[in-house]
Structure 1
Amino acid sequence: MGVTLGIHAAGGVSGAHLNASITFTYCLLGKLPWKKLPAYVVGQFLGSFVAAATIFGLYYDALYLYTGGNFTVMGPNATAGFFATYPAPYMSLTGAFFNEVMLLLGILIIHDEKNNPALKGTQAVVTGLLVFVIGMSMGINTGYAINPSRDLPPRIFTAIAGWGLEVFRAGNNWWWVPIVAPTLGSLFGVLVHKLFIDLHNQPATDSGNEKEKYTLESARM
């Protein structure tokens, strides 16, 4: 719901650029001017940092009760994972990168006007469901960052708020993976969509629509 509401809130202003990796990829593909990249990324990072601070304030009493005021990153009472992502003990670096591929690929499919896009007006809900499904299916591995804008600023906040620099050292210096992996995953998602979907579809034409209509009518007869 947070993603869905974010899309509704920012869709008319920026096209709902909530993810630095996707913003960078769109600039690289020429779909967004490079001059907008700094403003979008700064806005994303500030929003994520304020969100982390808000959650910390809302749940400070619960965090303090649970930890006794000892905020830790790893271990039985670790709480840093409420804010940023950390890998499961079994997770390899290669596996972590594969966890970050699906988001932009799914978004491209949802908005692909040459294929079978989501119904008009439902894109925000379907995108929110996409994020939910990615989290339910792969979140146990790495916390499914899929977005540097939602991982690095909260990580910086936790370093300031009492968890210390361990938030950067934990998981064999994991902090850079949620920045690089979603970006490479976005580029790979674009490649997969282009090779296996986009190249095999053409925009609908009147003649094509007439042919489809004729086929449907023939099927009814």
Structure 2
Amino acid sequence: MPSEPVESGASQDLELGTTEALQQHATRSVIAHKPVSQRKLNFERRRPRWLRECLAEATGVFLYVFPGVAATASFLTNAANPIGVGCAYAVGIAFAIITCAPTSGGHFHPAITLCFAFWQGFPWKKVPYYILSQVLGAFVAGLVMMGMYWPQIQAINAAFIAQGKPLVGNGTPASILCSFPNPDQTNLGFLFMTEFFVDFFIGLIIWACIDPANPFVSPSTVPFMIGLSYAAMIWGFADITIAANMARDLGTRMVAAIFFGREAFTFMNYSPIAILVNIPATFCATALYELLMRDSLSSIGQGHAVHEDGEEGLLRNLSKSGLIDDEEMRRPQAARRQELGKMG
């Protein structure tokens, strides 16, 4: 039977558009979609999953790096409010998660990808593809920003050269793209510890936010909480040099090397700290959460995870823990399942 044409409904109906977000909340009806064609379904079925995931990771990184470096460029070229840099990264991260996480899982950070593989069973074979995609997203974001701000950046370059100032360093044109230490920050150990604790803070907040058993974070607030964790660190420590994400720093640092030379990687021997320290720091943060704060039994009880040996394995664990007795173990399976549901 052919589908009926899609037409606007009564005057109280909401027209199709961003109103789709209200489908589960609005008391007024929203005009229906046109029927989905078989051609569209065939196209979507044939899309390689790996390509969709990689493009989603690259796009997600682009969505938060682009407003972040643009806000930094505005701060340097127009003396804008520095608070805006943290806000731009925070909102960009929220937008990235909202837009791309349904496709790829929303890592957008090589250290987070590695931690998912180590702690949560994310396939190791996907790790290189995800990391390369994340770096690519930051690289493209840096290139696009440089193109859009090129006249202003050229003017700043000319002013710096006329005054005999270097183009690479903190507060220079190159710092729009990636971080550099202040001239007096010659102690690499100090820079290491600053970066480590900033990344540890962000990693711990991310891991707490994505824990399905955490009662204080709802799914709709996760993107903004993670974004705020980045913003808080930018507001607190950007003046003394932080990077916070390997993909963001490496991708945009390569753009800086294109426009400002290889000193973008060699300046004060800082780039290895900016690129690599976030990985061990995030591992330490997630290890703290996994070893001391994770409540896997609560996750199982709420239906977010399963015991590796199924229901029988869960019951054995509950019996050993004293949460159920031997008589409970002998009850019919249906009754036990109902009781487990009540515990969750």
TM-score tier, shorter chain, comes to 0.7 to 0.9
| 2:167 aligns with one of 58, 63, 72 | 72
Cα deviations by residue, 1:4-38 (Å, 9 ceiling, x for unpaired): 11111211111112111111121122431011112
| 1:149 aligns with one of 247, 255, 262 | 247
* Cα separation, 2, equivalents of 1:31 and 1:86: 35
- How many pairs does the alignment contain? 207
| 2:230 aligns with one of 120, 131, 137 | 131
Root-mean-square deviation over aligned CA pairs: 2.6
Residue number in structure 2 paired with 1:40 = 130
Residue number in structure 2 paired with 1:160 = 258
Cα deviations by residue, 1:134-193 (Å, 9 ceiling, x for unpaired): 211222222x311110001111111112x11111111x2111112221001110101221
Residue number in structure 2 paired with 1:84 = 178
Q: CA deviation at 1:40?
A: 0.9
Amino acid corresponding to residue 47 of structure 1 in structure 2: G
Q: CA deviation at 1:196?
A: 3.6
Amino acid corresponding to residue 185 of structure 1 in structure 2: A
* Cα separation, 1, equivalents of 2:342 and 2:123: 38
Change (3 A) 1:9 1:179: same
| 2:209 aligns with one of 110, 123, 127 | 110
Residue number in structure 1 paired with 2:269 = 173
Cα deviations by residue, 1:35-58 (Å, 9 ceiling, x for unpaired): 111211121111111100011011
Q: CA deviation at 1:85?
A: 1.4
Q: TM-score, structure 2 length as denominator? A: 0.55
| 1:52 aligns with one of 142, 158, 164 | 142
Superposed, 1:195-214 pairs within 5 Å as 195-198=291-294, 202-203=298-299
Cα deviations by residue, 1:72-113 (Å, 9 ceiling, x for unpaired): 1027x6111111112233361333322321112101111222
- Contact 2:142/2:255, CA 8 A, preserved across alignment: yes
Task: Provide the secondary structure at the position in 2 that maps to 1:17.
Answer: coil
Q: CA deviation at 1:117?
A: 4.1
Q: Which protein has the larger Cα radius of gyration, Structure 1 or Structure 2?
A: 2
* Cα separation, 1, equivalents of 2:220 and 2:213: 17
* Cα separation, 1, equivalents of 2:218 and 2:196: 31
- Contact 2:195/2:278, CA 8 A, preserved across alignment: no
Q: CA deviation at 1:116?
A: 2.5
Task: Provide the secondary structure at the position in 1 that maps to 2:194.
Answer: helix
* Cα separation, 1, equivalents of 2:228 and 2:194: 23
* Cα separation, 1, equivalents of 2:199 and 2:205: 12
Change (3 A) 1:57 1:5: same
- Contact 1:114/1:201, CA 8 A, preserved across alignment: no
* Cα separation, 2, equivalents of 1:165 and 1:195: 42
Task: Provide the secondary structure at the position in 1 that maps to 2:219.
Answer: coil
* Cα separation, 2, equivalents of 1:120 and 1:202: 17
Amino acid corresponding to residue 272 of structure 2 in structure 1: W
- Contact 1:10/1:17, CA 8 A, preserved across alignment: no
Q: Does 1:99 align with 2:204?
A: no
